[in-house]
Amino acid sequence: MECIKCGKESTKKDRGVSGGRCSACYQAFVSEPTEHGLTDMAIKLAEEELSGHGRIYFSKDSLKYQLQRLFIKRIQWCNIGMSVLLIIAVGLSVMAVLNGGFFVKITLISGALVLVPLVIKANYKKFISQLDVLVDKWISVNPHEKLLTAEKYQASLGGRTPTNLDEMAFKQVLICERSETVALLLSNLFHIHYGCHVLSGQSYPGGVNAEILSRLKQNPSVKVFLLHDYSPAGHAFVRRIKTDAKWFGGQRVEMIDLGLNAHQKKLFNGMTNKQLDRNKKMKETAEIALFSPEVLMKKCGAAIKEGVALDLISTAVDAE
Amino acid sequence: MSRFQVYCGADSDRFEQYLRVGWGEARTPILTVNSLGFASSPQPTTNHVVFAFMPDNRCDIGEHSTLFASPDGRCTGVFSGKLFDFDRLLGGFANELSTAQKLGALLQQLHARHGLDFPLQLHGFFAIVMVVDGQLLAVRDAIGERPVYILQTPTSTLISDRLATLMSNPECERVINPAGVSDFLSTGFSPFERTPVKGISKLQAGVIATITQSSIHCVHYHQLHDQQCRVGNANPTETHSIAEVRAALESAVANRLEVNTKTGLLLSGGLDSSLVGAVVGGHNLTAAYSLNFGQEYRNELEFSGLMAKHLGIPSRVITVTSEMIKAKFLQTATILDEPIGDPLTVPNIIVVEEAAKEVQLVFNGEGGDPVFGGPKNLPIMAFEAYNMGMADFSREEMYLRAYNKGHEHLPVMLSKAFQQQLNQHQRSAELLAPLLNDTRFDSYLHRLMHINLRLKGGSQILPKVLKASAAAGIAVRSPLFDRQLTELAFSLPPVMKLKGTVEKYILKQAVSDIVPAVIIDRPKSGMLVPVHYWFNKELKAFAKDVLLHRNAKIRNLIERKALQNLIDFKGGGIRPYYGDRLWLLLSLELWMQAHNISDGL
């Protein structure tokens, strides 16, 4: 495995001898390919891609999902491999039934080979389940300058009531279920790029939330966009913003639910969290953080511009 | 537009010889002042000042541009532009004096009475360079309708209203000023005193400069203030303010109309150009000229056509294609004489050339946003709403980013050598800081309007329209940049500019009876040149040929990989603005080619 600091290659044995550090520069290794399915360099490259080479803020969850996407790609390749092997095996078994002899042996071998991708897939799924722990360790050892930590959220707040706004009212707002999403959007200047204010359902950012909300309410034709997880909490959030008088309950405003919801499955195909609920029924959820910050910004920006939900955006994402 | 050159130095013969070759002796009136001593210089020397002036009958319609000298010879110089109350000002002087003598006497008298604040007494648009009582002074009008550039060399000072004139002088090194080029790459123009050319600076609007052999001392004779400095009624009612704005608009237009002159209107279909047309009146207009970029791209022809019909004048639509852009780009770089990275530059020149076929003067709606608080302030106000404390987003950085020209891309775009050179200069953000924290304005909106007016108005919009129309041989008027109108706009409370979600509120109210409601009420869309689509298709090869050419002038300034990525529309981040950034770099490259400027690396 290559050291991310000095580039020196090391074997598992080398790493064991040097206490999990690079023998040349003492940089600590975080992942072990056999245990985590990833090298440190792969994680670093994922971070670089996520941050647009140091220009875009991202969260811990963004990194987790970025790495998950790597595994999902590999799982997709496993599926393709498995399908090809399966077709070959079926073809060979037909030949074996018709001709026997040599084809029987080949059919048995190919049948056994079909199991290989299945094993690999199972491994990847195990690696995905360990990602939370791996990412926590990674960010404590290698904190990226664009990683949005809790301290940076606080720093981004400012904390004062805005004083320079005169009698300005606001035209549109994107209300997010999670404060982390708001911090991510604000840090990447979503409000500047798309001329849309951003607030969270948890009254974040604290110092300015009330002021911004009051200026939004002054505008009878305000447009309200909602962004949330695909989860019961996400649905409850939408209901709250629509009905709670503290938000827009009782007001006739244009409200557009950007998502996530069940209709947008193609946006997060293969990346949902599946868990059994109390009634032993499979519940599927998806977090908004599964989008990389760049994709989230562009999708939300285009959706706001066109006034439509995320899954209805087409080419507008790439246009200026 | 007149063209003048002023030389101050010991070798005036050489300058006059250069003028004869460059401008042609027969057409160039020259005025020479001998023996100007710079008392403040360490080694007092005797210099000659030579004023040269090239009149242009087509572009000087209604102007009073001339060389002048007071009867006693103590005040001599060159005046370019127009004074609105010219006849009244000169009325008190003896009839036997020529106009040039009266002008000299007037400026001498005003200077004696008001010192360096004397230009405040002059209402109009102008550039003046003059020697009075042994001092060499250069003046730019309050809003900046006329530019003034200054080239200082170890042995002489040259002043002109054209940057190109100074660049072509043998005393100019023709090397870039790295800081000026960086300003350009951040904003799309040169917002500050420094220009992209080494040794050449420019006067900001409302500035008078005292020029000595080794220094330029600038004083802002014209300052804008918040409403607390309002003269008379400190708390005007809305009705009263609407009437005041309407009267100021009418006065601004009346001062700029010329009798017996065929006049056109550059009509985008937006509020500003429509209201200017309405105040000018259809009876004074020959036709309206509007832009279109082809059926497949968004346009505002529905609204420009509606307004032209409302005014009762023919609507001429000029379709600008990517082929026309390609053919005209280099010529535009020559015409504009300082680089301007606004994709509307080439279309503007094409439309003005079309207008010049049937009119002698055009009115435009430039200035509505800087003077009355247009929507371009909203992103900055949105930033202000959050008081974000993250270290990499200072107000200044945000302001520069809001131009959407690629300020945030500079660290990866500029070559290492160029970045090293830049380290020796003040950064653009540092120069912006005093303006963003200007305590003369309580209202942050007023600060933004002030910056927009001083920087973008005076350094990009006004020079652009002036040079484009001059190249086409017609005169141009931008009445929304009128000084009185501007002072009035700033004196009104901010809520009259940005009321709730309505931008330019008072301006809209002031013209609500003469502009159709559909134009007043619609959101501003701006004239969007489809550069994003053009550079992704038909202009891609053009951009590649020019920017990646092995002899490209910017090859040492911009990283080749960054250029390649830009051309391939790759790696631009959240809002990449590929088309605008390619336009910006092409403007720089072709400007360096057109004026043979080297990178100095």
Mean residue pLDDT across chain A: 86
Residue contact B444–A155, C-beta within 8 A? no
Per-residue pLDDT, averaged over B449-474, amounts to 94
Say whether both A127 and A158 belong to one domain.
no
pLDDT in tens, B4-51: 999 998 888 888 888 887 776 566 777 777 666 554 444 556 788 999
pLDDT tier for residue B61 given thresholds of 50, 70 and 90 = confident
Which of the pair, B507 or B439, is modelled with greater confidence?
Answer: B507
Say whether both A308 and A199 belong to one domain.
yes
Residue contact A166–B495, C-beta within 8 A? yes
Chain B residues with beta carbon closer than 8 angstroms to that of A301 = 574-575
Distance CA B509, CA B240 (A): 11
> Which of B378, B381, B386 lies at the smallest CB-CB distance from A205?
B386
Residue A186 lies in a domain: yes
Residue A46 lies in a domain: no
Chain B residues with beta carbon closer than 8 angstroms to that of A189 = 383, 393, 398, 401, 574
Query: In the A/B pair of chains, how many CB contacts fall below 8 A?
Result: 116
Q: How is residue A93 written in tokens?
A: 């078994």
Is B309 in contact with B285 (CB distance < 8 Å)?
no
Among A115, A141, A167, the domain boundary falls at A141
Query: A8 pairs with which residues across the strands?
Result: none
Residue type, A301: G
Question: Among B565, B561, B599, which Cα is nearest to B582's?
Answer: B565
pLDDT tier for residue A320 given thresholds of 50, 70 and 90 = very low
Report yes or no: B382 at the A interface, CB cutoff 8 Å.
yes
pLDDT in tens, A175-210: 999 999 998 998 898 998 888 999 999 888 887 888
Residue contact B571–A53, C-beta within 8 A? yes
Say whether both A110 and A174 belong to one domain.
no
Q: How is residue B572 written in tokens?
A: 């631009």
Say whether both A127 and A228 belong to one domain.
no
Return the pLDDT at A269: 75
Is B436 in contact with B472 (CB distance < 8 Å)?
no
Is A29 in contact with A20 (CB distance < 8 Å)?
yes
Among A76, A108, A141, the domain boundary falls at A141
Report yes or no: B498 at the A interface, CB cutoff 8 Å.
yes
Return the pLDDT at B57: 76
Residue A40 lies in a domain: no
Residue type, A220: P
Is B55 in contact with B8 (CB distance < 8 Å)?
no
* DSSP assignment letter at B482: -
Is B387 in contact with A160 (CB distance < 8 Å)?
yes
pLDDT in tens, B100-152: 999 999 999 999 999 999 999 999 999 999 999 889 999 999 999 999 999 99
Percent residues over pLDDT 70 in chain A: 95
Q: What is the value of pTM for the model shown?
A: 0.89
Q: Is B530 buried (19+), middle (13-18) or exposed (0-12) by CB count in 10 A?
A: buried
Q: Is B264 buried (19+), middle (13-18) or exposed (0-12) by CB count in 10 A?
A: buried
The enclosing domain of A255 has a CATH number of 3.40.50
* DSSP assignment letter at B126: E
Residue type, B546: V
DSSP chain A: -B-TTT--B--HHHHHHTTSB-TTT-PBP---HHHHS--HHHHHHHHHHHTTTTTS-B-HHHHHHHHHHHHHHHHHHHHHHHHHHHHHHHHHHHHHHHH-THHHHHHHHHHHHHHHHHHHHHHHHHHHHTHHHHHHHHHHHS--TTB--HHHHHHHH--SPP-S-TTB---EEEEES-HHHHHHHHHTTHHHHHS-EEEETT--SHHHHHHHHHHHHT-TT-EEEEE--BSHHHHHHHHHHHH-TTTTTT---EEEEEE-SGGGGGGGTT--EEEE-TTS-EEEEB-GGGS-HHHHHHHHHHHHHHT--GGG--GGGT--
**3-state SS string for A202-228:** CCCCHHHHHHHHHHHHCCCCCEEEEEC
Q: Is the pLDDT of residue A306 over 90?
A: no
Return the pLDDT at A318: 47
Say whether both A95 and A176 belong to one domain.
no
Q: Is B419 buried (19+), middle (13-18) or exposed (0-12) by CB count in 10 A?
A: middle
- Print burial letters for A87-126: b (CB count within 10 Å at least 16), e (below 16): ebbeebbebbeeeeeebeebbeebbeebeebeebbebbee
Question: Among B291, B267, B242, which Cα is nearest to B362's?
Answer: B267
Which region, left, alpha or beta, applies to residue B265 given φ > 0 means left and ψ of -120 to 50 means alpha? beta
pLDDT in tens, A151-172: 776 666 655 567 778 778 888 9
Residue A44 lies in a domain: no
Return the pLDDT at A193: 87
Q: How is residue A21 written in tokens?
A: 């550090």
Residue contact A156–B390, C-beta within 8 A? yes
Residue A50 lies in a domain: no
DSSP B63-119: ---EEEE-TTSSEEEEEEEEETTHHHHHTTS-TTS-HHHHHHHHHHHHHHHHGGGGG
Say whether both A116 and A167 belong to one domain.
no
Per-residue pLDDT, averaged over B154-158, amounts to 90
Residue contact A52–B571, C-beta within 8 A? yes
Return the pLDDT at A316: 46
Report yes or no: B387 at the A interface, CB cutoff 8 Å.
yes
Distance CA A52, CA A65 (A): 16
Say whether both A79 and A196 belong to one domain.
no
Say whether both A193 and A270 belong to one domain.
yes
Total of domains in chain A: 3
> Which of A53, A197, A221 lies at the smallest CB-CB distance from B382?
A197
Is B83 in contact with B123 (CB distance < 8 Å)?
yes
Mean residue pLDDT across chain B: 90
Helices (H), B260-373: 271-280, 301-311, 322-336, 345-355, 368-372
Report yes or no: B402 at the A interface, CB cutoff 8 Å.
yes
Q: Is B251 buried (19+), middle (13-18) or exposed (0-12) by CB count in 10 A?
A: middle
Helices (H), B473-527: 483-491, 505-510, 517-521
Return the pLDDT at A310: 86
**Backbone phi and psi for residue B424, each to the nearest 5 degrees, phi listed first:** -85, 0
pLDDT tier for residue B427 given thresholds of 50, 70 and 90 = very high
> Which of B382, B498, B578 lies at the smallest CB-CB distance from A195?
B382
Q: Scanning every residue of chain A, which has its alpha carbon at the shortest distance from the alpha carbon of B442?
A: A164
Return the pLDDT at B229: 54
Distance CA B42, CA B63 (A): 40
Return the pLDDT at B372: 94
Which chain A residues have any C-beta within 8 angstroms of a chain B C-beta?
52-53, 55-56, 152, 155-160, 162, 164-171, 186-189, 191-193, 195, 197, 205, 207-208, 211-212, 218-219, 221, 294, 297-298, 301, 319-320
Q: Is the pLDDT of residue B175 over 50?
A: yes
Among A134-148, B10-24, B580-594, the range with the most confident prediction by mean pLDDT is B580-594
Residue A318 lies in a domain: no
Return the pLDDT at A268: 79
pLDDT in tens, A14-60: 888 888 898 889 899 999 988 899 999 999 999 999 998 888 999 99
Say whether both A180 and A248 belong to one domain.
yes
A156, A170, A320: which to substitute to probe chain B, counting the most B Cβ within 10 Å? A320
Distance CA A234, CA A287 (A): 9
Q: Which domain holds residue A75?
A: 60-141
What lies within 8 Å, CB to CB, of A280 at 6+ separation is none
Residue type, B517: A
Please provide the distance, in angstroms rounded to a whole number, between the alpha carbons at the two ends of chain B: 35
Q: Is the pLDDT of residue A314 over 70?
A: no
Residue contact B387–A219, C-beta within 8 A? no
Say whether both A109 and A221 belong to one domain.
no
Percent residues over pLDDT 70 in chain B: 93
Say whether both A257 and A167 belong to one domain.
yes
- CA A311 to chain B, closest CA, distance in angstroms equals 19
Does the bond joining A205 to the residue before it have cis omega, within 30 degrees of 0?
Answer: yes
Say whether both A132 and A156 belong to one domain.
no
Distance CA B370, CA B191 (A): 14
Distance CA B308, CA B314 (A): 6
Helix axes A179-187 and A293-306, enclosed angle (nearest 10): 90
Q: Is the pLDDT of residue A250 over 80?
A: yes
Return the pLDDT at B39: 45
Return the pLDDT at A160: 59
pLDDT in tens, B534-563: 999 999 999 999 999 999 999 999 999 999
Scanning the structure block, which residue is given the tokens 């000023």? B177
- CA A278 to chain B, closest CA, distance in angstroms equals 41
pLDDT in tens, B368-402: 999 998 877 888 888 888 866 555 678 898 899 88
Q: Is the pLDDT of residue B297 over 70?
A: yes
Residue A38 lies in a domain: no
Residue A53 lies in a domain: no
Distance CA A71, CA A77 (A): 10
- CA B330 to chain A, closest CA, distance in angstroms equals 26
Among A91, A113, A141, the domain boundary falls at A141
Chain A residues with beta carbon closer than 8 angstroms to that of B385 = 162, 165, 170, 191, 197, 208, 211-212
Return the pLDDT at B228: 54
